[in-house]
Amino acid sequence: MNIPQDTILKIREKFPILNRKVFNRKLVYLDNAATSQTPRQVVEAIDNMYFHTKANVHRGVHTLSQEATDMQEQTRRHIKDYINAESIEEIVFTRGTTEAINLVTSSFGEAFLHDGDEIILTVMEHHANIVPWQLLQKKINIKINVVPINSRGELDLDVYRSLFNSHTRLVSFTHVSNVLGTINPAKEIIKIAHEHGVKAMVDGAQGAPHLKVDVRELDADFYVFSSHKMYGPTGVGVLYGKRDLLEQMPPYQGGGEMIAHVSFEGTTFADLPFKFEAGTPDFVDIAAFNSALDFIEDTGMDIIAGQEHILLEHTTERLVNEIPGIRIFGTAPNKSGVISFLLENAHHYDTGMLLDKLGIAVRTGHHCAQPLMTALGIEGTVRASFAVYNTLDEADAFVDALKRVNQILS
Ligand code: PLP
């Protein structure tokens, strides 16, 4: 795909933060897998709500409350269309991917899991899709099976197939690895689960920002993601769940909004999706998330994914050719814009710190994926991750800076 640089420069203009300097150098922001930057229109939507429409949602007959409710519910409708869910009842707002997974762990766990049951995770999961299951293990004696990866960082689907037995109840896996960049064959993984009568949850934290997601095409039972990685505000996440499943699951938290009627003798719960939305939601940021989805749609997922792919290919080629001894973790042909690497003779922290001094923002460490680090036999990596506003000039600035860092550290 050929994307004119003018197109990307126009997109960049929407992100004032990209003009700032770090250590008196032009910022090159390559930490997008941790959080993406936010376009002006999203910040303006937040401003606008605080200045004109702030009132608690679903609680008032007055104009402001109704307007605020409409704005929140408009985002819900937008998300439904964005991921092609069947109904708005299937879209539950959470604080992020992590909370959405905890909701499923706790509520699906209570409704459907019993001592002796088994679930399947993969070795490339973020801690957010590991630790909640381990917390559940303290209440229910479930077994966690783990799908390994091959040398390119792809899931071993033969082992995956072999992990099913009559006790298997759920498969939960990441759509895209936040470390390796591997785009997992989600549709196939889900199909295999369903052939065994097993439900499947997709951690879409790194999927929804970079891929066209169609939950019905995937046939996912649950799909979860975070706004802040999608050019949106912090504090907002989404749990998509198939309606019949959500209906069978008990509430996750109790409080306001999620009830139909409360008495000290007993309480009945609200219908979907409100059953899972106890307390005042982050309605300002939810409303502003709508503008982030507008940004993604106006830009076009083909441009977003296309630019990220161009950057990935260009940068990878230069790194491999120009930095002797560099090790890149994750070389799957189907890969998103994430490059995890180690310089031959340098600790990842030192590499990251020196890059920062040169204005390049990358992430270092275990990336909340310690089991994956153990499988790779390392403690951590340096990770550069792209978004649509990154340019080839920035990719080159990163590689040039890394060459300097490599000289200093070797
Ligand atoms: N899952 C994956 C694959 C991630 O990359 C992340 C964040 O980096 C999460 C889950 C957690 O997302 P959040 O911190 O927005 O809840």
* Rounded-to-integer distance, Cα 77 and Cα 394, Å: 36
pLDDT for 117: 98
* Rounded-to-integer distance, Cα 216 and Cα 237, Å: 19
* Rounded-to-integer distance, Cα 207 and Cα 82, Å: 13
Ligand 1 neighbour 184 (Cβ under 6 A):
no
pLDDT in tens, 363-379: 999 999 999 999 999 99
- In order, the DSSP letters of 74-138 are HHHHHHHHHTT-S-GGGEEEESSHHHHHHHHHHHHHHHH--TT-EEEEETT--GGGTHHHHHHHT
Q: Residue range 82-111: average pLDDT?
A: 98
Which position has the token pair 């340098």?
346
At 349, list the tokens.
């922290």
CB-based contacts of 133, cutoff 8 Å, min separation 6: 105, 119, 121, 142, 144, 172
In the predicted structure, residue 140 carries a pLDDT above the cut 90: yes
pLDDT > 70: percent of the chain: 100
pLDDT in tens, 300-343: 999 999 999 999 999 999 999 999 999 999 999 999 999 999 99
- Band of pLDDT at residue 360, cut at 50, 70 and 90: very high
In the predicted structure, residue 4 carries a pLDDT above the cut 90: yes
Ligand 1 neighbour 203 (Cβ under 6 A):
yes
pLDDT for 337: 98
The dihedral of CA 335, 338, 343, 347: what is its sign?
negative
pLDDT in tens, 169-228: 999 999 999 999 999 999 999 999 999 999 999 999 999 999 999 999 999 999 999 999
Ligand 1 neighbour 206 (Cβ under 6 A):
yes
At 410, list the tokens.
């070797």
Ligand 1 neighbour 98 (Cβ under 6 A):
yes
pLDDT in tens, 186-202: 999 999 999 999 999 99
With 0-12 / 13-18 / 19 or more C-beta atoms within 10 angstroms meaning exposed / middle / buried, residue 63 is exposed
- Spacing, Cα 351 to ligand 1 middle (Å): 23
Q: Do 227 and 91 meet the contact criterion of CB atoms below 8 Å apart? A: no
pLDDT for 257: 86
pLDDT > 90: percent of the chain: 98
Q: Residue range 335-361: average pLDDT?
A: 97
Please give the C-alpha separations between residue 37 and each of 30, 78, 291, in angstroms, as whole numbers. Answer: 10, 21, 13
Instruction: Give the helix/strand (H/E) hosting 301.
Output: helix 301-322
- Band of pLDDT at residue 1, cut at 50, 70 and 90: confident
| Count of CA atoms in the C-beta half-sphere (13 A) of 277 | 28
The mean of the pLDDT values for the chain is 97
Which residue type does 103 have? L
- Spacing, Cα 128 to ligand 1 middle (Å): 7
The dihedral of CA 152, 156, 158, 159: what is its sign?
positive
In order of their start, the domains of the chain are 5-30+300-409 (3.90.1150.10), 43-297 (3.40.640.10)
CA-based nearest residue to 128, from 56, 219, 214, 202? 202
Q: What proportions of the chain, in percent to the nearest 5, are helix, strand and coil?
A: 45, 20, 35
Q: Residue range 128-146: average pLDDT?
A: 98
pLDDT in tens, 7-66: 999 999 999 999 999 999 999 999 999 999 999 999 999 999 999 999 999 878 999 999
Q: Is 368 a catalytic residue?
A: yes
Pocket-testing residue among 31, 94, 121, 206, ligand 1, by greatest number of atoms within 8 A of Cβ: 206
The pair phi, psi for residue 155, each rounded to 5°, is -65, 145
Instruction: Give the helix/strand (H/E) hosting 239.
Output: strand 237-241
Atom number in ligand 1 closest to CA 97: 16
* Rounded-to-integer distance, Cα 407 and Cα 354, Å: 11
CB-based contacts of 70, cutoff 8 Å, min separation 6: none
* Rounded-to-integer distance, Cα 191 and Cα 391, Å: 37
* Rounded-to-integer distance, Cα 56 and Cα 361, Å: 38
Our CA angle for 299, 305, 311, nearest 5°, is 110
